[in-house]
Each structure stands twice: as C-alpha cells, then as structure tokens.
Structure 1
C-alpha cells in the first residue's frame, strides 16, 4: 500500500485480579528500534537469513483505506507503529480475563524517516488523546460512523490498523506508508537477542503487579525483567501515562543504540538470533516485503543512533476532561514540518571534506538585544547535531551576525557559517579558545538552514544515544 502501519503489543496487569483496561502495557516503542534494526540488518543479511523473512505475517489494509488519502509531498517514509493489548494465544498469560475482549491499541507511534535516511523521529500519540475519528471499515466489513470526539486508542478496536491509519492521517494530513506488529513474547526474545538493554532507575522499585524488583542505579535487563520494566506504571515516576511514555522512549532508544553500535548487526550469529526473534512475532502490511526493507536499508546506511529522535506529539490537558489529552496549538505547525521534510543529507562537494556538525563545538553569544535569543539559537544548533554551549550576552550589540574561531577551528567555522542565511565570513578570533567556534548573534539573525534533519528540535525530545540516566 504505500501506507501501512506497524502494530505491536503491550501488557495490562497480569491477573490474578481483574485487569483494568488502563493497566500496565508493554512498550510499543520497541517497534521503532526493531524497524531500524530490521531494515539495516536486511541489507546484508537477506540471502543468509532468507528463511527468517518467511516468518513474517502480512495483512492487506488497502481495501479498508480506500483512495481518499493525503498526498505524499516528499520521499520521506512514515511507518505507523501500534501496540495491541490482545490476549489471544500465548499472550493470554498477561491477562486471561481479557482473552475474549476486543483488543485496543494503547501504544501509537509514527516513525518518520527523513528523505535519504539521514535522520529518524518517533512521534508518540498518547492513548488518552481525544480526536475526531473518521468513518472506518472493519475487517469484517462493518462500517463505523465518524465521531466528533473519541479516544484515539479505540480506533484499533473498531477497525484495526486501517482505522488507526485513517485517524492519524485525518488529524495530521501525513501520508502513512507501512505498518508492523510485535507481540509480548517477541519483545522478550528481542531483548535477549541483543544481550539486554541498559536502563537507569532513579530509585529502587518493588512492584508486585508488574513483578519488577530492581535497585536504584544502572542495570542491563532482558526477557521477563525487561517486560516488567516497560509494563510498570505506578512503581516508577508519577504514575501518569506521559511519564511512562518518556521512560519507554528512553528504553527504545537504548535498545536501538545497543543494536546499532554494539556489534549486533555485524555479528552473523547475533543478527540471525535477532532477526528470528523479530520475524517470528512480526506482522506487516502486504507491501513491506524483504526487497522493500532492503531498499529502505540502503537509504538508512550510515545513520547513527544519535540521529534517532523521540518526541510526544504536542498536546496538553483536554479542556473538556482533565483526565484526557488534546492536541495543542503547536501540533499543526509540527505536523507541517513533518509533512514538508524534504531535506536530503548534504553531500560533500567535489574535492572537499567538510567537517560534520557533530564534530563542531560552538559557543553562542547574544548580540541581538533580544532576550533569550542565544538559548533559542543554541537549541536549533543542537537539533542539527552541533556541540553547543551558551556563552551569554556579547560585550556589545551588533547588527550583523559573526562567526569567529579559535586555533584549528577554521574548517569547523565554515560548516557553521554555511547554515546561516546571511553568509557571514568566518574570521579568526584573537584570544579565541582553540578548537571552538564562537557564534555572535546579530540583529540580522533570521533562522538556521537545515543540515539535513528538516524538523526543528522539539521540547522534551530524546535521542537514542542520550545518557540513560539523563533527566528529561
């Protein structure tokens, strides 16, 4: 379809008590890491691991979606990741009293891969988000009427993955391309295959419902322990779903970072174990075939975990119900940035070897006279991958933005100057710090051109290579 989603499963309370619908769910975020791992690994492993690809289940959602879809504006790829709380089959152990209840999707994530594969962003939609839901057709042919106000996680119950796609597309106008699904047991196998995932607990936890028992500090967890960690809600944090989303984002980032940087993808046995763990529990749309995964892999070659970002869709308390969430005014500009992300990773000009932003250390000084300007520019620079500190106010106001450099940073200064629309000529700074580029913001400052990401830094975003103990 050129628009399909991925759904995976998480967990509510595992009996013996009746399991409330809002209980503990497993991390749907794992599918973001798994999608990156699958497509990157498939490039070199398709021939050797052909059998593993045969384990994947497929679902056709085209007939449910129909022709009235958002227009695709660029070559970015958008994959919808869903978590289903089904208790069928082996998953019944995580809530047997819910075996006959229709499933919901309480983990909804849009994975956006920038054109050319230079960066990726996972966008989480809270399960309690109140939205306008379009008319949906279920797999049984039943047509569900549109609703002016509904909780987003009920879309999956009514019309499965196709209804979630229609709902997300209708509120964001972003074309969705593919989907996947991983269940509880697949999640445990994945964490085992990568040798465990590092986590950091701010305090000790002993939660009888999720059965999570860990001391404060750093741990590497896998299997049932990892499952308990992503299920727990009230044992850690403030007990809110948004707090748990942040913890899940960190976990998924650490998982992707482990797979991408710890030799998993370059070790044939580890990769085979990982792919078997993924594919045995994976469902995708009909069009996400191994060859398509290989094509995506070619686009993503060279993407580091530092280019993998995680955010929650801009939202706040629902004015009609404080226990629910509604999109904030910042949501539509954010969706527009995702829709219009046309920026390809920059290619070096012939005969040149430009310094990448990740190797450029910048100090930002405010010479514009506008309060907070240095901090805002620093955030923009950081979102482009620069190493940034805020130097405070410049000694005096200046009309023109300047780029100054210390010893050995002349080429680094060129990288920064190339992203400034006014095209300042870098100059050596007397007494400048060796290896450091100083950016003095002038009154002519407008914005920063993109170095390849296309989507500005979002409040509270997490990167896969962040310190797992970093406060967010």
Structure 2
C-alpha cells in the first residue's frame, strides 16, 4: 500500500466508471467481520481448557472508548434501543511485526478498513456501511493514545484519524459525522492476518490475469495458487500490478481473498481438531483489539453467538454515499441528502431508503 499516513495523504480517487468495482468494497469488509465472528464461535464450541482461556484473554487488547470519548456522545433513539452498532477497523501498521511483513516502503499506521455494521433489533439481519478512506471529514477534538489532546481539524482525510490519534478517535469521528452511537469496536492488524493464514495451512486463490507488482516485487502468474501468510499479505496489498492500478482493483482482490479465507475455514474440521482450533484462536486473538466491554473470550463468544441468526448472504453492504470534492477531485465528501438519509435510518433502526444507497461519485 502506498498511501501516506499523514492528514493530507491518501490514494487518488478513481474515475466514476469504476462503479462495478466499488460495489465489491463492502463485501470484502463483511467477509473480515464474519470471519472474526466465526473464529470466536469455533473457539467457544471447541471447549478449550480454563488455562488456555486465560492465555487467549491475555492476547486481546482492550480500548476503553467510554473513558476516551467522555459524555459528549450521541444518544440512542428509542426505536433503536435494542439495535447494535459495531465499528470494524482493519489496521495497516508498519510498526513491530507488521513492519517486517511490509511489501512496500510505507511507514506509519492507518486504518485500512472502516466499516460500521448495524445489527437491528432481533439480530436476524445486518447492514454494513463502508467509509471510503479518502473521504474529507471534520475531525473532532480527541484524546490521543498518549493522553495528550489532539485539536479539532477541518477537511482532513478520514484514514488519517487512526494514524494521528488511534481507534478511539476514529470512533468519535464516526459518531460526529453520523450522530450514530457506536456500541462496540473491533480492530484486526495485518501481522495477525499473516499468522491466521499460516495457522489454517494457506488459502487458495484463482486469478484470471498475471500479477506483476514491480513496486513490491510480488509476481503471481494467472491460475490457481495456494498462498501462505506472507504471500497472502502481498496479494491483498498489491495495487500497481493488477487491473488499472487503482485502489479499487486492490479492493476487488481483498474481497476475493477474504471470501476464499472464510471458505477455507468453513471446510476444515476445526471442531474435530481442538489443536488446530486453538492455534487459529491464538492467531486471531493476537491480532485483535476491541473496546473494553468485548476484551475477553467470554464476551466475544457471547457476542458472536448472538450473531448466529444473521445470514451473510443476505447482509446488505453499502458504501457511504460520496461525491467528488469541488476543490480537490482526488478526494470525496459525504453526498447530501443521501448520506444524511443513510445515517438517519441507522440512528432510528428503520429501513434504509434506496436513495440513500446511491453514490454520485460512482454514478449510481
């Protein structure tokens, strides 16, 4: 990935003709979220011993978002009191283990994925709203991870918020831009992603064209290949060696890979192999940061079990409606009234109107 980690950095916005590829974005995020839930369910059913339960609890990192955000937060509407809003972040840090795995030369850390998953009352369905990384937003004042204060800022890149202030500030930013109360937060990093792929023995993918990324040195002939963790990272990060070189081409690869990963986990006899289930659970929890309320195996298992009634094939996936910024055509801004209609429906836990699913920047 070649975007910078600064407030003004980010990828260029592809032309509107990429609408078909944009539609793939939400599904790749949903795959990641479903995968995490599935792993927790497997762990819960596997019946690991108490001692290992404690070990896995120690892997999970917790963030007290209630303390970091304070009382200046949206209140839930009466009609949405039993709904749940989960913010899923995929972090792309080049620090520590992630730095050793990097396929490029980018430093710093960003949120590579931002997905608000709304689970209505009854938990029989869900809607996932992806927020484009190159969206210009107004960032609220935040408490940084070191305890310092980050002042509010106007017209900054959405994906810069994580790099300058961490996940709690991303939660606050999403709440400010949507007026939607976020109940829970989950974050997974790329180093843990590699360990997860290796733990299941690799993932098979099929490409209909050669991939030659001269920037990262990743080459993959067309055809079917079983990728280990390291090559899987290169596969989902490649950009310039595939398609038109845009970020949307990479999004398509990420979606394809996440579905292949989920399929691989489903077909393995994890319940019949406690050793493998424990190995996978260990990799998954090492990669996981959650809000403090979910920062234990027991809490995660309970949350995952409550999601069992949701059919991923019927999950609605929506990109936040955006329009090209009038001052910088390489950036987008939330489109009105569509974005306002979308957030209102989520706030009130009502059906999302079709008009709120259309994005001027994609011609749809």
Which TM bucket (shorter chain)?
0.7 to 0.9
Deviations 1:186-220 (A, max 9, x none): 11121233443343423111223333322334444
Structure 2 SS opposite 1:107: strand
* 2:199 is the counterpart of 1:193: yes
Distance 2:200 2:271 in 1: 10
Greater relative contact order (CA < 8 Å, ≥ 6 in sequence):
2
The match for 2:45 is 44
Residue 78 of structure 1: how far off its partner (Å): 2.2
Alignment of 1:421-440 (within 5 A): none
Q: Compare CA radii of gyration and give the structure with the larger one.
A: 1
Instruction: Tell me the SS of whatever aligns to 1:321.
Output: coil
Point out where structure 2 has 5 or more consecutive residues left out of the alignment. Answer: 4-8, 12-27, 360-364
* Offset of residue 235 of structure 1: 1.2
Q: Please name the residue that 2:302 is paired with.
A: 295
Aligned equivalent of 2:279, options 273, 276, 285: 273
CA distance in 2, matches of 1:194, 1:341: 37
Q: Deviation at 1:233?
A: 0.9
Q: Give 1:368-383 correspondences, 5 Å limit.
A: none
Aligned equivalents of 2:267, 2:312: Cα separation in 1: 8
SS of structure 2 residue aligned to 1:227: helix
Do structure 1's residue 211 and structure 2's residue 217 form an aligned pair?
Answer: yes
Matching of residue 85 in structure 1 with residue 92 in structure 2: yes
Whether the 8 Å contact between 2:62 and 2:292 is mirrored in structure 1 is yes
* Residue 60 (structure 1) aligned with residue 86 (structure 2): no
The 5-angstrom pairing of residues 214-293 of structure 1 reads 214-260=220-266, 263-264=269-270, 267-288=273-294, 289-293=296-300
Determine if the alignment matches structure 1 residue 164 to structure 2 residue 165. Answer: no
Contact 2:61/2:290 (8 A) holds in 1: yes
1:180 is aligned to 186
Structure 2 CA distance, aligned partners of 1:220 and 1:116?
Answer: 39
SS at match of 1:322: coil
Determine the structure 1 residue equivalent to 2:318: 311
Separation in structure 1 between the aligned mates of residue 144 and residue 289 of structure 2, nearest angstrom: 18
TM-score (norm 1): 0.61
User: How far apart, in 1, do the equivalents of 2:305 and 2:290 lie?
Assistant: 20
Answer yes or no: is the 8 Å Cα contact 1:191–1:222 preserved in 2.
Answer: yes
Relative to 1, partners in 2 of residues 1:29 and 1:195: Cα closer, same or farther, differing over 3 Å? farther
**1:134 shift after superposition:** 1.2
**Are the counterparts in 1 of residues 94 and 108 from structure 2 also a CA contact under 8 Å?**
no
Q: CA deviation at 1:52?
A: 2.5
C-alpha distance in 1 between matches for 2:226 and 2:125: 27
**TM-score normalized by structure 2?**
0.77
Asked whether the equivalents of residues 70 and 173 of structure 1 are also in contact (C-alpha less than 8 Å), the reply is: yes
Tell me the distance in 1 between the aligned counterparts of 2:353 and 2:210.
Answer: 36
Query: CA, structure 1 residues 219+267, in 2 after alignment: closer, same or farther (shift >3 Å)?
Result: same
Unpaired runs of at least 5, structure 1:
1-10, 14-20, 343-453, 461-472
Aligned ranges 1:367-406 → 2 under 5 Å: none
Distance in 1 separating the partners of 2:260 and 2:349: 26
Q: CA–CA distance in 1 between the matches of 2:261 and 2:353?
A: 24
Quickly say closer, same or farther: Cα 1:308–1:75, change in 2 above 3 A.
same
Shift of the 217–339 alpha-carbon distance from structure 1 to 2, 3 Å rule, reads farther
